[in-house]
Amino acid sequence: MSQDWMANLGVDGTEEPDDMGDPHAQTAPLPYSQRSPRAPHLTAAPTADRELSAASVQIDPPRRWPRSEGSLDGQPVPVGVQVGTTLSPELLGRRVKPIPRSGWRRVVHRCTFGAINPGENPADVRERAITYRLNAPVASDHRITVFTTKGGAGKSTTTLGLGSAFADARTDRVLAIDANPDKGILGQRLNTIVPTDQASTIYDLLAAGQYARYSDVRAHTLEADTGLQVVASHADPARSEALTGEQYQQAAQMIAAHFQVILSDCGTGITHDAMRGVYADTDSLIVPTLISDDSLSNAVFVLDWLDAHSMRNLSARAIVVINQASGRRKPTPDEQRIITYFQSRVRAVVTVPFDPHLAEGGLFYWDRLRPKTVDAYRNLASLVADDFHTKREGAL
């Protein structure tokens, strides 16, 4: 064979010594600087006389692949797609639609036996988003105070509605304390199989003094169908002493060992000794009111009193709840003026529409409320849950 093609490629024709005969023979490797570069891709075109010539050697140009950042199953991955991450349905080009739970979309899905799936109702998407907010994690415990200086504004109703919204959505424990220093009605309005006149009270919990185990506290609570538990106040007319601030803080400490969300339905005395303990342990403040001059003036007084007693941070984070509102999609002019005023002073304002079940004033049943009322309490609970990261400062 001709040696010209070897000369053209810069290769001499001297043969290397045959070391195959000696298996122990070793050749010292050349230094890296003296090594020949790798030859480009060579394709030999056969000739008629089976000899290679310089003209019969073709050099292929280097292959140019489209710019990519990796490969997926042997195929280039477009720029911007991160290799090694979990394959999402969007990347694979297919996505299973969720089954609609309400509205005309559910009707179409059921009538076609699932052959046509229009997707979720936007209202269901909003409900799922609220449920996600309601399940926000709590580092230790979050204490919510429901307070106003006038009865009849819906304090106990707001406490039960807010607590039921949390207990119905969350998997941890939610409890409400009847912190009224005198006779309270929170336990009497809770729908429970245990007769309220035979139930334990906050005074029994304090007298027992046991709270190391959950069962120690559970023995003194009432539980509703939603899972909301309540520590009731006394209903004994012979009792003369009132709940003190030290007693409330002691009871709250015992309860906080086993409950993550704790609500307090307070009395109407803003300067009562029990309220000092309540304010010091408050993370979120709820101020209920009605659309009436007396009730609105009392709600404003609560905010003014907090500002005057170095608790401006607590009043600014408060949420005002307007009970028995019209429930219209667009508030009435009077409601809008009230909402606008309180929005300038507190974190949020929530309107709870009139509900015939709440107007009865008897036992509270979560499943008997109108859908708009349930949505209002869930919206209120989601706003409170957004504040779960806030830590109490002990204002008093």
205 and 277 both lie in a single domain = yes
At 199-213, the pLDDT tens digits run 788 888 999 988 999
279 and 327 both lie in a single domain = yes
Strands 222-223 and 71-72: unpaired
What pLDDT sits at residue 84?
A: 56
191 and 119 both lie in a single domain = no
In a domain, 59, yes or no: no
Domain termination site, one of 134, 157, 181: 134
Q: How many domains does the chain have?
A: 2
Q: Which helix (H) or strand (E) holds 84?
A: none
Q: Which of 103, 104, 106, 102 is nearest to 114 (CA)?
A: 106
Which residues fall within 8 angstroms of residue 139, CB to CB, at 6 or more apart? 388, 389
In a domain, 110, yes or no: yes
pLDDT tens, per residue, the chain with 396 residues: 555 545 555 555 555 445 455 555 555 555 555 555 554 444 444 544 544 444 555 555 555 555 545 554 555 555 555 555 566 655 655 677 788 888 888 888 889 888 888 888 888 889 999 999 999 999 889 999 999 888 888 999 999 999 999 999 999 999 999 988 777 888 889 887 666 555 788 888 999 988 999 999 999 999 998 999 999 887 666 565 677 888 888 998 999 989 999 999 987 778 777 777 788 888 999 999 999 999 999 999 999 999 998 889 899 999 999 998 887 878 888 889 999 999 999 999 999 999 999 998 889 999 999 999 999 999 999 999 998 887 655 443
What pLDDT sits at residue 48?
A: 47
215 and 245 both lie in a single domain = yes
What pLDDT sits at residue 280?
A: 80
270 and 243 both lie in a single domain = yes
Which residues fall within 8 angstroms of residue 279, CB to CB, at 6 or more apart? 145, 311, 314, 395, 396
Q: Is 101 helix (H, G, I), strand (E, B) or coil?
A: coil
118 and 186 both lie in a single domain = no
What pLDDT sits at residue 76?
A: 59
What pLDDT sits at residue 52?
A: 46
Q: d(Cα 167, Cα 131) in Å, to the nearest integer?
A: 11
141 and 127 both lie in a single domain = no
110 and 241 both lie in a single domain = no
In a domain, 365, yes or no: yes
The structure tokens listed for 101 are 């739970």
Q: Which of 10, 72, 80, 75 is nearest to 40 (CA)?
A: 10
285 and 159 both lie in a single domain = yes
108 and 223 both lie in a single domain = no
What pLDDT sits at residue 394?
A: 44
The structure tokens listed for 113 are 């036996």
375 and 268 both lie in a single domain = yes
In a domain, 178, yes or no: yes
Q: In this structure, are residues 311 and 283 in contact, taking their beta carbons and an 8 Å threshold?
A: no
The number of angstroms, rounded, from the C-alpha of 358 to the middle of its chain's C-alpha atoms is 28
In a domain, 241, yes or no: yes
* Helix 122-134 / helix 155-169 crossing angle, nearest 10 deg: 100
Torsion-angle region of residue 141: left (phi > 0), alpha (psi -120 to 50) or beta?
beta
Residue 213 structural domain: 137-385
Q: Return the residue matching tokens 């941070």.
A: 313
In a domain, 93, yes or no: no
In a domain, 45, yes or no: no
Q: Which of 359, 351, 344 is nearest to 325 (CA)?
A: 351
What pLDDT sits at residue 102?
A: 82
Strands 174-179 and 229-231: parallel
**pTM confidence score:** 0.72
Task: Read off the CATH number of the domain in which 339 is found.
Answer: 3.40.50.300
188 and 107 both lie in a single domain = no
Q: Is 196 helix (H, G, I), strand (E, B) or coil?
A: helix
Q: d(Cα 291, Cα 272) in Å, to the nearest integer?
A: 26
In a domain, 390, yes or no: no
Q: d(Cα 368, Cα 170) in Å, to the nearest integer?
A: 20
